[in-house]
Amino acid sequence: MDGPAVRHFVNCEQFQLLRKDKKAFFVYVNGVKLDEGEELKDNFTRIAEEFQTVMNFYTAPAQCISLVDGINMPKEPSIYVCKDGSCFRYEAEAQKSSNKTLYDWVNKERFPSFIKVTHGNFYQLMKTGKYVVIAVLEENQIGGLTLRMSEFRDVLEAIAVNNKDIYHEYFIFGWLGQPDLANNIAMTTLPIPSLLVVNSTTYEYYLPVLEEDEKVPSPQSILELLDKVKNNSAKAHGGETFFYRLYRTYYGAKTSLMGMWKGNPVLTTVLLGLPLGLFSIICYTTCCTDLLEAGDEDDETETVDERHQKRE
């Protein structure tokens, strides 16, 4: 991202406009006591420089933050994360009591409650250390979803928003527009729609237990799974052991080839057949040349022997 790591809101109108974009960003305000908070501001700047490519960091006049419903003008220098229609303050004492730094807080709070998961941001989501809860869906060619998939996405979003006090510390919620990423994690083809919970530390994943007549995870089954994952009592699958990494590589290669074959079988045949053909020619010329040379040597030996016999 071009420009300085920390930008400044010249006026509160800029602050309000950015809030309407519904993007998460961090803001530092001096508060009433302008002579304090130098250490906090220095830490804020250093963290902004590290996350500059993926997040936005600002400074703003103290009165701007008071425009947010339920927030008074801070009396001391403070840091807020603005997302999900509000702003939330960094409580230094509460974070220190749980052995968490400002960096840890920024890393965990830099995403909204519900986000579209893509190949581009999945790695960043995994770096938060939280469990990533994903609604596995499949968009059509114009980016639309069926009514059934839209309803399932809305259910998961409602769970994320309405149970923020319970799950926010442990989970990040989102949805996938294409299932290939989720299938690669689970190393199998998941039904559409479905739910996948990924442990960002161990790469293990969890699936809800469905009833016999249940094709789509219900809100109750989702809540039960989240509670079990939170209490470390859910059955885990997969992981990052050598065997699973090897099998995941194999599965990814297999699905990629199958996708290429379905999309363009002629081109796939050329791409695979040309290297195999060249390899066969190389093997043939390498192995058969030795056999031919050996055969020529035998013929020459037999000819010399015949000449000696005729002379005798």
Average pLDDT over residues 192-219: 91
Inform me whether the pLDDT recorded for 47 exceeds 90. Answer: yes
The domain tally of the chain equals 3
How many whole angstroms separate alpha carbon 211 and alpha carbon 220? 11
Please report whether residue 280 resides in a domain. no
Inform me whether the pLDDT recorded for 2 exceeds 70. Answer: no
Q: Do 70 and 163 sit in the same domain of this protein?
A: no
H-state helical runs in the chain: 12-20, 38-50, 62-65, 92-97, 102-109, 119-126, 147-162, 164-167, 180-186, 219-230, 242-263, 265-311
- pTM of the predicted model over 0.95: no
87-134 pLDDT tens trace: 999 988 877 777 688 999 999 999 999 999 999 899 999 999 999 999
Q: Do 152 and 68 sit in the same domain of this protein?
A: no
Here the tokens at position 309 are 């016999």
What is residue 25's three-state secondary structure? strand
Looking at residue 235, what DSSP letter applies?
P
Q: Do 133 and 233 sit in the same domain of this protein?
A: yes
Inform me whether the pLDDT recorded for 39 exceeds 50. Answer: yes
**pLDDT bracket for residue 264 (50, 70, 90):** low
Q: Do 211 and 267 sit in the same domain of this protein?
A: no
Per the structure, the complete domain to which residue 53 belongs is given by 6-108
Q: What pLDDT score was predicted for residue 217? A: 92
Q: Do 211 and 257 sit in the same domain of this protein?
A: no
Please report whether residue 75 resides in a domain. yes
Please report whether residue 13 resides in a domain. yes
Please report whether residue 113 resides in a domain. no
Hey, what amino acid is at 255?
A: T
Mean pLDDT rounded to a whole number for the chain: 84
Q: What pLDDT score was predicted for residue 132? A: 96
Q: Do 64 and 138 sit in the same domain of this protein?
A: no
Q: Do 24 and 45 sit in the same domain of this protein?
A: yes
Please report whether residue 45 resides in a domain. yes
The enclosing domain of 99 has a CATH number of: 3.40.30.10
Please report whether residue 296 resides in a domain. no
246-257 pLDDT tens trace: 877 777 776 766
Last residue of a domain, one of 45, 80, 108: 108
Q: Do 11 and 97 sit in the same domain of this protein?
A: yes
**pLDDT bracket for residue 275 (50, 70, 90):** confident
**pLDDT bracket for residue 75 (50, 70, 90):** confident
Please report whether residue 291 resides in a domain. no
How many whole angstroms separate alpha carbon 22 and alpha carbon 251? 37
How many whole angstroms separate alpha carbon 58 and alpha carbon 179? 36
Q: Do 234 and 249 sit in the same domain of this protein?
A: no
Q: Do 58 and 141 sit in the same domain of this protein?
A: no
Last residue of a domain, one of 216, 239, 262: 239
Q: What pLDDT score was predicted for residue 303? A: 53
Q: What pLDDT score was predicted for residue 128? A: 92
Q: Do 72 and 11 sit in the same domain of this protein?
A: yes
Please report whether residue 119 resides in a domain. no
Last residue of a domain, one of 239, 260, 282: 239
How many whole angstroms separate alpha carbon 91 and alpha carbon 143? 40
159-186 pLDDT tens trace: 999 999 999 999 999 999 999 999 999 8
Average pLDDT over residues 256-266: 65
Inform me whether the pLDDT recorded for 306 exceeds 70. Answer: no
Q: What pLDDT score was predicted for residue 304? A: 46
Q: Do 138 and 80 sit in the same domain of this protein?
A: no
What is residue 101's three-state secondary structure? coil
